[in-house]
Amino acid sequence: KDDKNWFHHAVGYQIYPKSFRDANADGIGDIQGMIEKLSYLKELGVDFLWINPVYKSPQVDGGYDISDYYAIDEMFGTLDDFKLLLNEAHKLGLKVIMDLVVNHTSNLHPWFIESQKSRENPYRDYYLWADATAEKMPNDWKSFFGGSTWTYDDATQQAYFHVFAAEQPDLNWKNPKLREEIYKMVRWWLELGLDGFRLDAISHIQKEPWDFKIKSWRGNGPWQPFMNVAGIENYMHELKAIFDDYGALTVGEASGVLSSEAANWTDENGYINMIFELEHNARRADGSGDIYGFKKVLMRWQKDQLARGWNALYLENHDQPRSIDAFGDGSLASAKALAVAIMLLRGTPFIYQGQEIGMTNFPFSDISQLRSAEVIQHYDELVAQGERAEDALAEIVLNTRDHSRTPMQWDTSAESGFTAGKPWMAVNPNYQTVNVEASQELLGLYKDLIKLRHDEKAISDGSVKFYFERHLNAFVYERDEFLIMVNLGQKKAHLDLGKVFDSSVKNYQQVLGSQARELTEKMTLSAWEYQVFKRK
Ligand code: TEU
Ligand code: CA
């Protein structure tokens, strides 16, 4: 399995280190904790790990504000711990990738501290500065985290640019010296033995914030001026050359790259191996997921990258509420149906920690239980605008990313076996019934699905074809000799295969299913039913 397309039959597992396992009882997950749990991951059957940022950071944005790219934050351990993790993972045949966060640094990175000192400072041009006054920013662009993309700095009477928090100033990729520094760092980690990167917010690295004619509302929304802007291809080519040197595995968080353009990023000549699309996460006003929208987005990405290109598949990550509540109805049956729906599509699936045991959203009842700075800021803004505290809380709780950041639920012991101390964020009160020991049924299904990806060429490399595309909640697709049918809802789904299906239903046998069944021309799928059939 040493081919360069090894990721076609691989499955990734995303670890949010702060909440995975705390080995030294200070309440914060750490690298030693990850090492302790490698055997669990090996047994699950995944092939590689994506570890969220453990770099040195003031932690304004969960470690996505890096103050030293070459150091591990003390709260997680040391560089030696990290090397040990790499070593132990590699011994088990698990590859490891980390976030590459190079759209911005922390405002406490030495480059920015220098940059802020004067207009003449040699590091000034590592960031994006423009003339402004305290009252008037250079343009009307809006940051992802609310407010202007500019923060005025009185000392030099200019403003600096940031698409996320003010503590995350954007780097100036036009500066060749900056790029050299970044490339040196990328090589350094690959030399150390890291197997690749998840490229954070990579589609934002190119922008023209000095072009004051570009208004924020251009095309489909306020963020267009810094989403996949022309010129980005030069930087991506330079990065690709490094990735190629090391055979690095790369997955880009590249919002703004349309499904129709994605193959240019991910095919044989593309910059990276695959892209996380962010479109399928759309929510209704009540915070619940839009299943029909979910289906439509996934089908479009699958089709647009069928002739060329490759998908990254996921239900959850550290930025989204838990899928069992967002797209499911909180039931185990819904978690299982969602697992089958996503895991057998064409692409590389990523499982987010806790998804495999059916972890749920957290019943937040007080603002003090939340941790994400931008959510708390949003709450404060709502209250300042006169909203009642409970209404403001209800609004942010609908889709706060804190839902997915609570500690991993290992067992029924105190604090769910996550820590022997006091956890940095409360453990979900349902840990007595939702934990690794108690959730063997869902875990078993994930293991079966991973095994299918490893063993069946049709699932790893086969084609994909969809049926009943306009059905509101039945998700039906064919991967060569496999037929996957999932009811992503509580309402029965009546499907007349006889009308659309080319092959004879008699030639199929059940591989997996939420109940024993034969394939027939007329099928009625019950609530959250899933079926996987294989042609004999
Ligand atoms: O998220 C970034 C992110 O979601 C945006 O790039 C996206 O394009 C935008 O929200 C459009 O919908 C990543 C991390 O996953 C997140 O945790 C960090 O807070 C963020 O980058 C900043 O580094
Ligand atoms: Ca710890």
- 470 CA to middle of ligand 1, Å? 31
Percent of the chain with pLDDT over 90: 92
Q: Which of 149, 257, 278, 405 to mutate to test the pocket of ligand 1 (most atoms within 8 A of CB)?
A: 278
- Ligand 1 atom with least separation from CA of 223: 11
Task: Say yes or no to pLDDT of 479 above 60.
Answer: yes
Distance of CA 21 from the midpoint of ligand 2 (Å): 8
Indicate if 253 belongs to the active site: yes
Q: Model confidence over 28-80: pLDDT tens digits?
A: 999 999 999 999 999 999 999 999 999 999 999 999 999 999 999 999 999 99
| 167 alpha carbon, closest ligand | 1
Confidence of residue 487 (pLDDT cuts 50, 70, 90): very high
DSSP 4: T
CB 311 within 8 A of CB 275: yes
| DSSP H/E element including 397 | helix 389-397
Please state, in angstroms and rounded to a whole number, the distance separating the CA atoms of residues 383 and 120: 41
DSSP string, 365-384: -SGGG---HHHHHHHHHHHH
**Where does ligand 1 bind, in terms of residues with CB under 6 Å?**
61-62, 64, 101, 144, 164, 200-201, 253, 255, 278, 318-319
What pLDDT sits at residue 284?
Answer: 81
In which element (H, E) is residue 265 found? helix 259-266
Given this model, what pLDDT does residue 218 score?
A: 56
Is 131 a residue of the active site? no
What's the CATH architecture for 6-105+176-364+404-451? Alpha-Beta Barrel (3.20)
Quick one: pLDDT band at residue 409, thresholds 50, 70, 90?
very high
pLDDT band for position 434 (cuts 50, 70, 90): very high
Mean local confidence (pLDDT), 465-491 = 98
Residue having the nearest C-alpha atom to atom 15 of ligand 1? 319
Distances (CA, A) of 324 to 354, 356, 442, 488: 11, 10, 12, 11
Q: What is the DSSP letter of 408?
A: P
Which residue has a Cα nearest atom 2 of ligand 1? Answer: 201
348-352 and 12-15 strand pairing: parallel
Instruction: Using the mean position of ligand 1's atoms as its centre, give its distance from the Cα of residue 378 in Å.
Output: 16
CATH of 110-161, one of 3.30.450.40, 3.60.20.40, 3.40.50.300, 3.90.400.10: 3.90.400.10
Q: Do 508 and 519 meet the contact criterion of CB atoms below 8 Å apart?
A: yes
Question: Is the pLDDT reported for residue 219 higher than 70?
Answer: no
Contacts by 389-394, CB closer than 8 A, 24 or more apart: 393/364, 393/365, 393/366, 393/367
Nearest to 85 by CA among 41, 151, 127, 118: 41
**Distances from the Cα of 85 to the Cα of 77, 318, 408, 410, angstroms:** 11, 21, 19, 20
Percentage of residues in the chain with pLDDT exceeding 70? 98
- The Cβ-side half-sphere exposure at 372, using a 13 Å CA radius, reads 22
Please state which of the four CATH numbers 3.40.50.2000, 3.40.50.620, 2.60.40.1180, 1.25.40.10 is assigned to the domain occupying 463-535. Answer: 2.60.40.1180
The answer, yes or no, to whether ipTM is higher than 0.90 is yes
User: Looking at residues 488-511, what average pLDDT do you find?
Assistant: 95
Looking at residue 258, the DSSP 8-state letter turns out to be: -
Residue 281 amino acid letter: N
**Model pLDDT, residue 1:** 44
Confidence band, pLDDT 50/70/90 cuts, at residue 2: low
The b-or-e profile of 446-469 (16+ CB within 10 A means b, else e) is bbbbbebbeebebbbebebeebbe
Residue 214: band (very low, low, confident or very high) from pLDDT cuts 50, 70, 90:
confident
pLDDT in tens, 273-330: 999 999 999 888 787 889 999 999 999 999 999 999 999 999 999 999 999 999 999 9
**Among 66, 101, 283, 319, which residue has the most ligand 1 atoms within 8 Å of its CB, making it the best to mutate?**
319
Choice among 132-141, 307-316, 353-362, 484-493 with the minimum mean pLDDT: 132-141
Residue range 118-173, pLDDT digits in tens: 999 999 999 999 999 999 999 989 999 888 999 999 999 999 999 999 999 999 99
Domain ranges of the chain: 6-105+176-364+404-451, 110-161, 463-535
